[in-house]
Structure 1
């Protein structure tokens, strides 16, 4: 397969409600959409970098720059391109995993479409639907948070994840657990807002029967997570710390986690995500698929990944209406706590071009020199 052109679009999708974490608050989701033109067809993907580098070091303007000047031209210079060779071609360029993931995903979509197979089948999926949970942003009051949780439970989500931060943690979790009862799957996400000095405080979360505590400490401190894991009964799950297969292997070996959240955009692509999945499956470490407030393009690709056998816990994929009143693809809906894979070749969806044009603020096309 030969890449003929790479079209990039910056889009903005207003969020139904603001999404607040311990790091920052988003009111709209700005994304970079990739349309890959090849001699065998078109592939679609998105780059899920944030506006500012607070979740990780990458950010949207940086992704635009590196794809336009470095990574995109590298793919255009390649000869016979396959999904498996994308990482090799881009390997000389350090970092920029989110941007690399977007390009690999577009190649995967184009390649699978041309072959008439779904991305899910190509990755090795064993399910046609997956259980999904919902990530609940920090609210100003406990009362507002409980109302939001009630909405999601009524919608049928099978798991609730609370964003927490110092000052909004133990008492907040206690209120939610008391409100929803012991039967509902409940977990929390610190997004690295704590330090090992908070270990005794975090250990108080053990009393609430949580499924896991996600990324409580700094992303680059596996040893501190291992120390915290020895002090808590609740399983530690790593998110920001898992940037590659090697990082996942180190985390498991150190005892820094008992669960792993796999985000393709964080680890550099869906093929690396599958390798991490295989590692965890072989070590009896449950995995689940995280989310980055994706459009329908990223949501469809994440569903394909989440249908692999090791994804035994509900992911942060969620229905379209959780985030957007209007998406660029057909909406994804929740049914009995699960979401159906789209089916069809590639990721199984493509943008509504009229809607895509309406939300596009900038576009460019990268062509061979």
Structure 2
């Protein structure tokens, strides 16, 4: 496949409500979209980096700089551009997995559109729809939290995930569990806000029969997670800590992770995500797809990934209206707790021109 240019589009979409985690509050989604243009088709990808380096070292403008100065030039030198070749071509550039993932999926989308093949089929999906869970941010009060949870359950979401941090953990989790009873699947996500010294405190979550506690400690502390796992009854899920297939093996074999959350942007792309899925399946470790407040571009691709066989736990792939009053693609909708996997070529969706124009901040083209 021949590329003629790469386009970068900065967009900003206001959130329907502020989303607070242990590392900050988001009021809108500032995203970088990558468009791969060929003589016959175009492909789209989304970089999931945040505007500031708070979730990870990457941030939107840094990812754009890496794409412009290093990643796109590396791809432009390929005699035949395919997603598989892109991964190999980018290995010389250290780091920048979110930027690499965005470029890879844009090229893969174009490649699959040209072949008239859905991304789900290419990855090996086995389900036509995936169950949808919701991530609930830190609230100002427990009554506000309970109202939000009731609203999400009424909308049909099959699993509730609560963001927690020191000072907002045991009390809100207890309140939600007592409010909902034992039938509703419930888990928590700390985004690395605790230390191993908090083990006794975190063990106070055990009586609430949570599915898991996600990323309680900082990302580089596998040893600490393994030690914590021996002191908790609640399974530990790793997110930020799992950055590659090798890291996934280390997390599993060390006892640091009983569950893994796979985010394609965090691991460098959908092909890497599929490798991690396969590794976890071979080790009997269940996985699920995490969310990064994606627009419809990233959300559609995540749906294809979540339909693979070892994604046996409900993930964070929610409907568009969970975050946006108007997405940049036709809205991704949920019905009775399920979201259909796109069946069109490539990722199966593309931006609505009017919505993209409304959300646009600026654009830059790189001719090849």
Name the TM-score, length of structure 1 as normaliser: 0.99
SS in 2 for 1:9: strand
Q: Distance in 2 between matches of 1:73 and 1:3?
A: 12
1:144 aligned to 2:137? no
Tell me the residue number matched to 1:290: 290
Task: Report the 3-state secondary structure (helix = DSSP H, G, I; strand = E; otherwise coil) of the residue aligned with 1:26.
Answer: strand
CA contact (8 A) 2:71 2:90 kept: yes
The question of whether the paired residues in 2 share the 8 Å contact of 1:76 and 1:367 is answered with no
- C-alpha deviation, 1:359, in angstroms: 1.2
d(CA) in 2 for partners of 1:59, 1:258: 29
Whether 1:220 aligns to 2:220 is: yes
Cα distance between partner residues in 1 of 2:108 and 2:364: 21
**Cα deviation code 1:127-181 (max 9, x no counterpart):** 0100110000000100000000000000010000000000100111000100011
Deviation digits for residues 277-296 of structure 1 (CA, Å, limit 9, x no counterpart): 00000111000000000000
Matched, 1:128 2:128: yes
**8 Å Cα contact 1:328/1:355 also seen in 2:** yes
Q: Does 1:270 align with 2:270?
A: yes
- Unaligned 5+ runs, structure 1: none
Partner of 2:56: 56
Would you say 1:100 and 2:100 are equivalent positions? yes
Partner of 2:365: 365
TM superposition shift of 1:233: 0.9
Q: Deviations over 1:51-77 (max 9, x none)?
A: 111111000110111111111121122
Corresponding position of 2:239: 239
Aligned residue number for residue 355 of structure 1 = 355
Kindly state the Cα deviation for residue 39 of structure 1 after the two structures are TM-superposed: 3.5
Q: In the aligned structure 2, how far is the partner of 1:35 from the partner of 1:60?
A: 16
Instruction: String of CA shifts for 1:313-368, please: whole Å, max 9, x gaps.
Output: 11111011100000110111111111101211101100011211121111010112
Cα distance per residue 1:242-278 (max 9 Å; x no partner): 1110110000010001000000000000000000000
Contact 1:73 1:366 in 2 (8 A): no
In the TM superposition, structure 1's runs of 4+ consecutive aligned residues that sit over 3 Å from their partners are none
CA contact (8 A) 1:74 1:90 kept: yes
1:67 aligns with 2:67: yes
Q: If the length of structure 2 is used for normalisation, what is the TM-score?
A: 0.99
What secondary structure sits across from 1:74 in the alignment? helix
Mapping for residues 277-356 of structure 1, pairs under 5 Å: 277-356=277-356
Residue 3 of structure 1 aligns to a residue whose secondary structure is coil
Matches for 1:206-217 after TM superposition, within 5 Å: 206-217=206-217
Corresponding pairs, count:
368
SS in 2 for 1:193: coil
- Report if the CA contact (8 A) 1:286-1:312 is conserved: yes
